[in-house]
């Protein structure tokens, strides 16, 4: 490791935030691959799957809204550690569900823990990074959610389901969560260590101040679009592949892993590119990429190779858009003391409406019109997202300033 203390601290904090976000990703998305098995066991419908997914997203959004501001007032270290401890103590509870109601309740509580971790981890990553590496480092941190939750997760879950009951799979990740909480408490500085003191200002005043920024209002609308794409495809696509295209279960898991692989590569590459050419052009081009890839995916038959390729492309672009929206766009728009608040507000709108309501609508569409129509929702969202991206103000620091 480098002898430069600042660089060493940057590497440690970004690494810890990334690993923690990987655990969050596993909790959120591994259930998607298990939904066909869980649905058969608990007698759940497509609409029920949408409801479960939406309930977690709404809890995630509400938690991000409140705890994002809380982290700005009491320090990110406390919020991050508390979120991971709660995550570790409760993750196994998903396996105790006996029906729709109990599974929704458990996922709501888990969503609250995951939502608390998200904006604080983004702000901690940005605070530890020099401006010239904002895009690169937030890409490294954010890529762990799709890599672990959507890339490795479907492959691991498919194989585990052959040897153990789905109810036991959740509890495997409790100990890693506790270890991560301990490591973050040891390494992430509190407010006093970075020259700040806890403040008693009100959350509503902070929210009003943050929403006054043009980019934050635009980012809220964009995040709704990106989450509509992510959650609709990750939650309902397994059933689309099995019930509409009639792929074998193992092949479905392989195709679904394209979400994680594409998201990981795009989350790393495109934010890094935005450090060089700017946030706005990368976001505008990426929205076009999402829409075109979704359209081609909807026109692809039961070809695992083509399905994998188009699903890879969808999330290569879409997860980069999520990362740029909640990371550099928020952090470079508002004062440092309100970074977590801004990120939490944008996440909240995206999760509650895009992540919460969209999959419920998608489930209803699948029940009443057929699951082959579910991709129309994210296609429409990508068109709206492109229009919004054109209204952004560029936030990338000037190159001469970035090199200072």
Q: What pTM value is reported for the model?
A: 0.80
CATH for the stretch 5-402: 1.20.1250.20
| Burial class (CB within 10 angstroms; exposed 0-12, middle 13-18, buried 19+) of 16 | buried
Angle between helices 214-239 and 279-298 (to 10 degrees): 20
Residue 11 near residue 1 (C-beta atoms within 8 A): yes
**Interatomic CA distance for residues 173 and 179, integer angstroms:** 10
Query: CB-based contacts of 401: which residues, under 8 Å, 6+ apart?
Result: 131
SS (H, E, C) the chain: CCCCHHHHHHHHHHHHHHHHHHHHHHHHHHHHHHHHHHHHHHCCCHHHHHHHHHHHHHHHHHHHHHHHHHHHHHCHHHHHHHHHHHHHHHHHHHHHCCCHHHHHHHHHHHHHHHHHHHHHHHHHHHHCCCHHHHHHHHHHHHCHHHHHHHHHHHHHHHHHCCCCCHHHHHHHHHHHHHHHHHHHHHHCCCCHHHCCCCCCCCHHHHHHHHHCCHHHHHHHHHHHHHHHHHHHHHHHHHHHHHHHCCCCHHHHHHHHHHHHHHHHHHHHHHHHHHHHHCHHHHHHHHHHHHHHHHHHHHCCCCCHHHHHHHHHHHHHHHHHHHHHHHHHHHHCCCCHHHHHHHHHHHHHHHHHHHHHHHHHHHHHHHHHHCHHHCCHHHHHHHHHHHHHHCCCCCCCCCHHHHCC
Q: Quote the pLDDT of residue 193.
A: 54
Q: Would you give per-residue pLDDT tens digits along the chain (404 residues)?
A: 456 777 888 999 999 999 999 988 888 877 777 888 888 888 888 778 778 877 888 888 899 989 988 888 888 899 999 999 988 888 877 777 777 888 888 888 888 999 999 999 998 998 888 888 888 999 999 889 888 887 777 778 878 888 888 788 878 888 888 999 999 999 988 765 555 555 556 678 888 899 999 999 999 999 999 988 888 887 778 888 888 888 888 888 788 888 888 988 999 899 999 998 999 999 999 999 999 999 999 899 888 999 999 999 999 999 999 999 998 999 899 988 888 899 999 989 888 887 777 777 877 877 778 788 888 889 999 999 999 999 999 988 764 344 33
Q: Quote the pLDDT of residue 399.
A: 46
Q: Quote the pLDDT of residue 403.
A: 38
Q: Name the nearest CA neighbour of 366 among 241, 260, 254.
A: 241
User: Nearest 5 degrees, angle CA 120-CA 148-CA 142?
Assistant: 35
Domain ranges of the chain: 5-402
Tokens at 399, concatenated: 């190159």
Q: Quote the pLDDT of residue 3.
A: 62
**Interatomic CA distance for residues 358 and 54, integer angstroms:** 7
Q: Quote the pLDDT of residue 221.
A: 94
Residue 339 near residue 76 (C-beta atoms within 8 A): no
Backbone torsions φ then ψ of 155, nearest 5 degrees: -70, -45
Angle between helices 5-42 and 214-239 (to 10 degrees): 40
| Burial class (CB within 10 angstroms; exposed 0-12, middle 13-18, buried 19+) of 165 | exposed
**Interatomic CA distance for residues 54 and 203, integer angstroms:** 25
**Interatomic CA distance for residues 137 and 129, integer angstroms:** 7
């Amino acid at each position: 490791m480098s002898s430069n203390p600042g660089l060493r601290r940057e590497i440690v904090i970004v690494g810890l935030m990334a690993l923690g976000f990987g655990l969050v990703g596993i909790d959120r998305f591994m259930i998607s691959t298990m939904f066909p098995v869980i649905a058969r066991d608990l007698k759940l419908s497509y609409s029920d799957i949408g409801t479960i997914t939406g309930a977690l997203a709404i809890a995630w959004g509400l938690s991000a809204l409140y705890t994002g501001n809380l982290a700005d007032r009491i320090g990110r270290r406390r919020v991050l550690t508390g979120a991971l401890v709660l995550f570790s103590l409760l993750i196994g509870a998903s396996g105790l569900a006996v029906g729709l109601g109990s599974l929704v309740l458990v996922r709501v509580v888990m969503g609250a823990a995951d939502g608390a971790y998200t904006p604080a981890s983004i702000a901690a990553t940005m605070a530890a990074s020099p401006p010239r590496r904002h895009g690169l480092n937030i890409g490294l941190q954010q890529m762990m959610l799709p890599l672990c939750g959507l890339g490795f997760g479907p492959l691991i879950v498919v194989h585990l389901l052959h040897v153990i009951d789905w109810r036991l799979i959740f509890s495997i990740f409790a100990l890693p969560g506790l270890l991560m909480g301990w490591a973050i408490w040891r390494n992430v500085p509190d407010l006093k260590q970075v020259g700040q003191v806890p403040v008693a200002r009100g959350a509503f005043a902070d929210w009003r101040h943050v929403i006054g920024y043009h980019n934050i209002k635009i980012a809220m609308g964009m995040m709704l679009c990106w989450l509509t794409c992510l959650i609709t495809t990750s939650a309902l696509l397994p059933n689309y592949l099995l019930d509409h295209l009639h792929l074998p279960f193992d092949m479905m898991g392989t195709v679904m892993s394209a979400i994680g692989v594409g998201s990981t590569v795009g989350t790393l590459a495109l934010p890094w590119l935005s450090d060089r050419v700017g946030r706005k052009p990368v976001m505008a081009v990426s929205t076009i990429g999402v829409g075109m890839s979704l359209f081609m995916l909807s026109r692809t038959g039961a070809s695992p190779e083509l399905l994998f390729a188009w699903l890879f492309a969808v999330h290569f672009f879409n997860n980069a858009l999520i990362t740029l929206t909640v990371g550099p766009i928020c952090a470079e728009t508002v004062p440092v003391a309100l970074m977590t608040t801004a990120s939490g507000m944008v996440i909240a709108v995206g999760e509650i409406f895009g992540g919460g309501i969209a999959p419920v609508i998608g489930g209803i569409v699948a029940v009443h019109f057929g699951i082959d129509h579910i991709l129309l929702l994210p296609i429409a969202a990508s068109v709206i997202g492109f229009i919004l991206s054109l209204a952004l103000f560029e936030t990338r620091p000037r190159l001469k300033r970035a090199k200072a």
